[in-house]
Amino acid sequence: MILVISETIVKVYFLGSYPGTIRGDYATTVSHNIIHGSDSLASAEREIGLFFGEDLV
C-alpha cells in the first residue's frame, strides 16, 4: 500500500514531480504542498500519533 501511495504522490521534492500527480499539480514549494506520505509503516505510525494523537495508532 505504501508503494501505491508513493507512486500517486510522486517524488519528495515537487520540482521532480510529473504533471498529473498530486505534488506535480498542487505543490508550490518543497514545504508548501498539499500531501504527505510516510516512507514506511514505522514512520506512518509515528506520524499518525503526531498529527492525530496516540489513541489512533
Residues with catalytic roles: 36
Assigned C-alpha cell, 19 = 504533471
Question: CB 1: neighbour CB atoms within 10 A?
Answer: 7
The three grid cell numbers given for residue 31, joined into one nine-digit string: 514545504
Based on its alpha-carbon atoms, the radius of gyration of the chain, rounded to whole angstroms, reads 12
